Structure formats: C-alpha cells, structure tokens
Amino acid sequence: MDFSRLTLLILLLVVTACKNTEQPKMGIIPQPSEIKYQEGVFAINDKTVIFVGNNIEAPQITNELGSFLKDNFNLSLELSTVVQDNAIHLIKSGEDGENGAYSMTIGKEGVVIKGSTDQGIFYGVQTLKQMLSPKVGVKEPVLNFVSIQDSPAYKWRGMMLDVARHFVPKDSVKKVIDILAMHKLNKFHWHLVDGIGWRIQIDAYPELTNKGAWRKVKGDKKPWEDFEITSKDAEGEVYGGYYTKEDIREIVAYARERYIDVIPEIEMPGHSEAALQCYPEFSCDTDVITGVYCAGNDGTFQFLQNIISEVVELFPNEYLHIGGDEVGKESWLKCDKCKIRMQREGLQTAEELQSYFVKRMEKFIHSKNRKLIGWDEILEGGLPERATVMSWRGVEGGIEAANAGHDVVMSPGDPLYLDHSQGKSEYEPPSWGGYNNVLKIYDFDPIPKDIALDKKQHILGAQGNLWTEQVKSLSHIQYMMLPRISALSEALWTKADKKNKEHFIKKLDVHFDRLKELGYNFSGSSLTPDYDVSYDKINKVFGLSLHNELDFYEIRYTLDGSNPTVHSELYAGPIEYATSIELNAMCFRNGKPIGFPLKKMFSTGFGDQCKVIYGNAYDETYSGGGDKALFDNKFAIARGDDPSWQGIPQKDFEVLIDLGSATELSYVGLNFFQDIGATSVMLPTQVIISISMDGENYNTVLDESIATQEKREPIIKHIGSEFEKQEVAYIKIIAKNRSVLPEWHLRKGPAWIFADEISVK
C-alpha cells in the first residue's frame, strides 16, 4: 500500500471512529453498542404524537414516556396508531432478538424506537429519556439525528438489597427499583430474611411477622450482638417492619413493569435466628438458638417447604434464593437428630450434611418450577445438580461452579459489595467491610480468565450487593448505590470492546446533573481530593500532589486554615513547601463544592537525621511501615486494616523523637484510632506530650485524659497542642493503654493502641 492510500485509510478510520463516538453531552449510561450521528435535529413539540404499534402489550411504557414529557417540558402528546411524521414511534418487530435489544433512529420523520420485545422498547425509552435530561438550560426537547443499535452483554444485571438488617419501606423499595430501571438493570434480589429480621408475611406461620419482624432495641448494642424478637407493641424501644402479601405483589408488579425480575431470598440453613426464636422446635437445641435449622428434624423441611409454597405464589420469576452462606455447623455435630441423619444418609462431615439440606430443598423448589440459587458455600459438600451459584467470597466459587457446568452470578465482595465504603475520607458515612470505588466497579469483568472457553456461557452476569447493617434510610441507600450502580450498569450492559473509561467519566459528569434533577442523593467520594507527598533531597523541599478518583474536576485549596471557596487557589501542580503546611482542599464542579474536603497538616520537621526510640516496641504485624511510620506523610484512615497505623497491644505507646537538630516549633499532635465494632483497638486513656532542647529537661505541653467512648463506629481522634514558639530538639509522647478491654467490650483480651502521623508546626 502506498503512503497516500495508507494516510487516507488512517484518516478514514479516525473520522469513522470519531463519528461512532457518542458526543459526551448526551451521557447515555450504560453506553449503547453503537451510536452514529447524522446532521440535523428533530424537535418534539405539541404536535408530536406517540405512535404505538398495535402489538405492544405494555401501556406503562407509553405512559412513562408521556409523563416524562409532560413533567419536564409541559408537553401532552397524543397517542396514535397511524404511522406519521412528527412522531415518536414505538414499534415491536416481534423478530427474534437478544432479550432487551432495541434500535433507535432520530431523523426527519421523528423518533423510531424498535424492539423485538416490549422490554427492548422499554430500554429504548430509557435511552430517549436520558437524551432529554438533564433539562437544565433546555427550553424544548431537541434531539440530534442519530442511529443507535443496542443490546445487553449479560443476562443477569442486578442488585441485592438487604431489608432484614434495616427494614426498607415499600415506597423506598420502589425508588430503588427506579434507579435499577433507568440503568437497564433487570434483577432485583430481595434479601427478605436474615438472623435479625424476618420481613415477609407467611400465613401458615404468623409468628414470623408478629414477632420475627420486630426486635428489642438494646441501648448501644447492635442487634447482631444481642438479638431478641419482640412484638410491635411491646414496651420499650422496638425496631422492625415487614411486607404484607399485598405489598409484595405491588412491588413485584412494579418491578415487572420495568422488566425487572424480583428474586426473593429465604435464608437457610443459617442466618435464621429470627425464624428460630419464633419457632424454636426447628432448632437443634430449643434452649440454645444458634440461628441454624436442625438438619435432622423432618419438621424443619416441612416448615421451610410450607414457607416456600407461599413464597412462590408471590414471585412468578424463575429463581428462588436460599442463602446458604456462613452456616455455623457446631450445633449439628452435637445434635442427636443431626447425628442420626448423618448415619442414615452416610454423610461423613457437617459440610455433607449442609449439602444434604440444600439438595433436599432443591428437589422441592424444582418441583415448584423454580430454580435454586444460593451463595457459594452451597458448593461445600457437593452442589445440587441444577443449582445456580452466586459467588461472593471472591470469584473462585463461581469459577469452580461454571467449570462444573453450573450457572453462576458473580457478586464478589471486592469490588461488588455496595455496603463497602467508596471513599477514604473520614467524613464518609458509616460503611462496612472494604473499599470499593466507582472505577473498580467499572473495571469489573464478570468472566474471569480461569473459566474454560466452553463454560463461559454459564456466567449469567453479576450484581452489586447492598447489606444494610449501617444503612438506615433511603437517602443513604441512594448514596451507596450512586454512582456505583451507574458504573455497574456499564460493566454488565455494555460489551467489553465498547467500554471506555475516559468517556464514562465525561458521561458521569452529565449523569450527575440527571441524578440531581431526579432528587437522588449520590456520592461525591470519587470527587474528594487525595494526596501524595514527595521529597526533593537536593533542594530540601516537599511536593504535595493532589488528585481525585475521576480527575475531572478542579481542586482548590488554602494553606491558612480557612475553608476553600471557588476563589481559592486552583491546584495546578505539586505544592512545594519547606515548612509545615495546613492544607484545606476541595473539589469544585460548576463553581460549587462537591465531595468531601481534605484537611491535613503536612509536616516538615522530620528529616533523615531524625531518630525514633520506642519505649515499648510496636507489634510487628501492625508496624505501620517501621520506625519512620509516624511521620511518613501517610495519614491512616478510619479502618483497622489500614497498614499505616502503628499498633501496640497491652502496653503504653511511648516514643522519643530525636529531631537531630533544633527546630522552631509551636505545635505537636497525632492521631489515635478506635473501632469497637470490629477491632480491639481503643483510644488511650491519657496522652502526655513533652518537648525538650537538651534531652534531659522536658516541658510538658499537653497532658490530657481521654474519656472512654462506647460508640461502635470507628473514631479517629487527633490530640495535639499549640504552645509558645520555641526551639525543640526532642519530642516525647506517651499514650496510656488501658491494658485489657473493658467488661462491656464485644471482645476479650488486651486492648490495643493505634497511632499515626505526628504533625508538627
């Protein structure tokens, strides 16, 4: 090929590529398979009609589009069954197509949305609505000429909502479903049952909702620490709620109109304290309810079968989730009935007994024309032959199941648990477990490499799971979902070769306004400044780099202790400093602050010459990174597993810092950690900070007693003191350890002190 032809070809490819790239302004999420722009625009006006093909059986789709145009643009469009110009045509081709596939063309004749099914048309309408929103600054709905082809990559695009830990009222559940629908997700896994709450009316067993749906509130104790059923009208503080059969039917119908299957989860054989406190006869030991059903009692199976018979009446979808996770098996090994069962069935281990349990339930569920799905523990002891596996402890269970020919839904804790925090800021609302940010979810590929080529079709898709130990309101649910569900939708709907992260970030900028217009509380964690510090040894200056996850928004900052405004210094590159600085940084979007602030003192007093002498050695497993960890410019976050914390059990935290030369200082402070809910780390009882010029005569600048805090949530406490500016060569810090955990603590044994990042100024 000669050079000019090659140039022409490259040019042509570039032009085609540009043409195929969606203009970010439209910000459609999830990204459609193919978008081609043409010259021209079509304006929807009061003469436009909605043409509805006569084979379309879903009036709610037309209603949704009609209401959207009425609410947003005050346009009341008439319906028509005559093909005409100036119309939005909804046409069902009836041809075979992927479930949910649709096409849309916008041209002189108006909008034509074609789907092979009603579901496809519904998705086309979701795309159209996104093209018309946010409506900020738009007077009338004007659409670019465009041609779109679209279909989903995966069949299972879902989210699980736990309504057991905290009850989510019916109307809030609908609001959750709305968010799934606008993102073309199609599975709503409803975790209706858990150890600390039963949430579904069962006629045969009224106590499940008379009592199992209500729990005593016991002071500051969390319900999973001390759970006791009660009744709604009992004396004292009571927490709970449940769905009547009518409520369930309403939610299922609401979801169905949005092409979302509802998968009910009835937990067994573990996580069942609520049910077993109501019906102790199905526990191995009726005096000690462990939350695990007795596998030796035929009555248990009858009880669960009766429940499932009522459940399948309410849920027409093909799957029924039986939980199966985290089953403590100690009670089985002590129970005579369970032992007899094991003998009779020739079962050697508790895992095989669990497998017997699940297989027996599977036969019943199959007889009811439903497919059993369970958490990956159902693999232990042998999987029922028709079972589908939901892989949550990583993707390994999913790989094993798929390679053995079972269908799989991926929902690994990392990165798909939505109860995990999505940012590292100390201002984040309470979360649970690890750290799953937006882009980690965006990058998730449901098909791991270890799945055999001919088994890939067994990966149905994936879902995000929102457990609600820490989540009590619709607003917090929305915060945990958004924008992570937006990222998940693109990971599951959009084919891998059409994903483009930079483009997604630009679209997210449009989407944020869309979410705002809908009144949703979305997280700005991905827009919160984060930092890195470097040190230039030759010039003896530090460099502070600021960034944020999306790196799309401006960061403004101050160094004088004030809160940044839109007029504050714009971050344009590393901030150089040779003396300590007090940074206050914030992201700004369209002139308004967004996300959380970053407020930290970055210190310069600790050069290479500086030495640290520990009175009591830190524990090697919590070294924080070694002897210089206390001033490495990495501030540990509010999590016990952050490797930046330096920890010591039982003994006092005692350090002497030899600065190596006299330095003028007027402030010394540091952070301590406590997390009663998840660790043995507690705040010290007293902190003493003293300074010295000669290493012999010390001047105490702080001696503070610290009151015990019984709060279960993690705490970072900064303890520090201002003093008259003076030359300092030595700093001594003593933090008193309470040695052993107090009686009321959830754990027993030594108390730990975690310390990090000494700031000096």
**Which of 436, 603 has the CB closer to ligand ACM?**
436
CB of 326 vs ligand ACM, minimal distance in Å: 5
Q: Coil, strand, or helix at residue 33? A: coil
Q: Are 272 and 261 in contact (CB under 8 A)?
A: no
**Which of 335, 683 has the CB closer to Zn ion?**
335
CB of 407 vs ligand ACM, minimal distance in Å: 18
Question: Tokens 């009603």 appear where?
Answer: 118
Q: Residue 734's beta-bridge partner residues?
A: 654, 688
CB of 291 vs ligand ACM, minimal distance in Å: 13
Q: Coil, strand, or helix at residue 311? A: helix
CB of 261 vs ligand ACM, minimal distance in Å: 19
Binding residues for ligand ACM, rule CB under 6 A, total 4
**Six token digits for residue 321:** 């989730």
**Which of 324, 381 has the CB closer to ligand ACM?**
324
CB of 464 vs ligand ACM, minimal distance in Å: 12
**Which of 351, 632 has the CB closer to ligand ACM?**
351
CA atoms within 13 A on the CB side of 61: 30
134, 180, 142: which is closest to 161 by C-alpha?
180
CB of 188 vs ligand ACM, minimal distance in Å: 16
Q: Which of 166, 271, 321, 458 is catalytic?
A: 271
- Which residues fall within 8 angstroms of residue 58, CB to CB, at 6 or more apart? 118, 121, 122, 257
**Cα–Cα distance measured from residue 109 to residue 42, given in angstroms and rounded to the nearest whole number:** 8
Say how many residues make up the chain.
761
CB of 441 vs ligand ACM, minimal distance in Å: 17
Asked if 226 is an active-site residue, the reply is no
**Which of 338, 657 has the CB closer to Zn ion?**
338
**Which of 162, 549 has the CB closer to ligand ACM?**
162
Residues 377-396 interacting with ligand ACM (rule: CB under 6 A): 392
**Which of 392, 730 has the CB closer to ligand ACM?**
392
203, 201, 191, 418: which is closest to 320 by C-alpha?
191
Q: Coil, strand, or helix at residue 529? A: coil
The 3-class secondary structure across 620-671, one letter per residue, is HHHCCCCCCHHHCCCCCCCCCCCCCCEEEECCCEEEEEEEEEEEEEEEEEEE
Interaction site with Zn ion (CB under 5 A): 284, 294, 296, 335, 337-338
CB of 366 vs ligand ACM, minimal distance in Å: 23
Q: Which does 337 bind (CB under 5 to 8 A by kind): Zn ion, ligand ACM, none?
A: Zn ion
**Six token digits for residue 423:** 């940012």
**β-strand pairing of 554-558 with 459-466:** unpaired
Q: Which does 335 bind (CB under 5 to 8 A by kind): Zn ion, ligand ACM, none?
A: Zn ion
CB of 459 vs ligand ACM, minimal distance in Å: 18
Q: Which does 338 bind (CB under 5 to 8 A by kind): ligand ACM, Zn ion, none?
A: Zn ion
| Residue number closest to ligand ACM, CB atom | 325
Q: Which of 257, 326, 351, 619 is catalytic?
A: 326
Q: Which does 296 bind (CB under 5 to 8 A by kind): ligand ACM, Zn ion, none?
A: Zn ion
CB of 361 vs ligand ACM, minimal distance in Å: 17
CB of 308 vs Zn ion, minimal distance in Å: 20
**Cα–Cα distance measured from residue 120 to residue 102, given in angstroms and rounded to the nearest whole number:** 5
Q: Coil, strand, or helix at residue 414? A: helix
Q: How far is CA 412 from CA 322, 441, 447, 570, 704, in A?
A: 18, 11, 12, 39, 44
219: left (phi over 0), alpha (psi -120 to 50) or beta: left
Phi, psi of 390 (to 5 degrees): -105, 110
Q: Which of 22, 64, 194, 376 is catalytic?
A: 194
Residue 352 interacts with ligand ACM (CB under 6 A): yes or no: no
Whether omega before 32 lies within 30 degrees of 0, making that bond cis, reads no
Q: Which does 358 bind (CB under 5 to 8 A by kind): Zn ion, ligand ACM, none?
A: none
Q: Which does 325 bind (CB under 5 to 8 A by kind): Zn ion, ligand ACM, none?
A: ligand ACM
**Which of 34, 326 has the CB closer to ligand ACM?**
326
Distance of CA 546 to the CA centre of its chain: 25
Phi, psi of 709 (to 5 degrees): -115, 125
Kindly compute the dihedral angle of the four CA atoms of residues 377, 379, 382, 387, in this order, to the nearest 10 degrees: 110
* Binding residue for ligand ACM, selected from 156, 227, 357, 375, defined by CB under 6 A: 375
Asked if 321 is an active-site residue, the reply is no
68: left (phi over 0), alpha (psi -120 to 50) or beta: alpha
Q: How far is CA 316 from CA 5, 321, 371, 728, in A?
A: 60, 13, 12, 74
Q: Which does 61 bind (CB under 5 to 8 A by kind): Zn ion, ligand ACM, none?
A: none
Q: Which does 326 bind (CB under 5 to 8 A by kind): Zn ion, ligand ACM, none?
A: ligand ACM
Question: Tokens 């303890």 appear where?
Answer: 719
**Which of 392, 618 has the CB closer to ligand ACM?**
392
**Six token digits for residue 690:** 């003293």
- Buried-exposed string 549-578: b where 16+ CB fall within 10 A, e elsewhere: bbeebebbbbbeeeebeeebeebeebbebe
Q: Which is it for the CA torsion 753, 754, 756, 761, positive or negative? A: negative
Q: Which does 284 bind (CB under 5 to 8 A by kind): ligand ACM, Zn ion, none?
A: Zn ion
Q: Would you tell me how many other CB atoms lie within 10 Å of the CB of residue 367?
A: 9
The 3-class secondary structure across 253-269, one letter per residue, is HHHHCCCCEEEEEEEEC
Asked if 704 is an active-site residue, the reply is no
* Binding residue for ligand ACM, selected from 228, 326, 352, 530, defined by CB under 6 A: 326
**Which of 390, 510 has the CB closer to ligand ACM?**
390
CB of 401 vs ligand ACM, minimal distance in Å: 15
* Binding residue for ligand ACM, selected from 325, 426, 509, 632, defined by CB under 6 A: 325
CA atoms within 13 A on the CB side of 46: 3
**Which of 420, 511 has the CB closer to ligand ACM?**
420
**β-strand pairing of 193-194 with 187-191:** unpaired
DSSP structural state of residue 578:
S
**Which of 409, 544 has the CB closer to ligand ACM?**
409
**Cα–Cα distance measured from residue 572 to residue 551, given in angstroms and rounded to the nearest whole number:** 12
Q: Which residues belong to the active site?
A: 194, 271, 326
List contacts with ligand ACM (CB under 6 A). Answer: 325-326, 375, 392
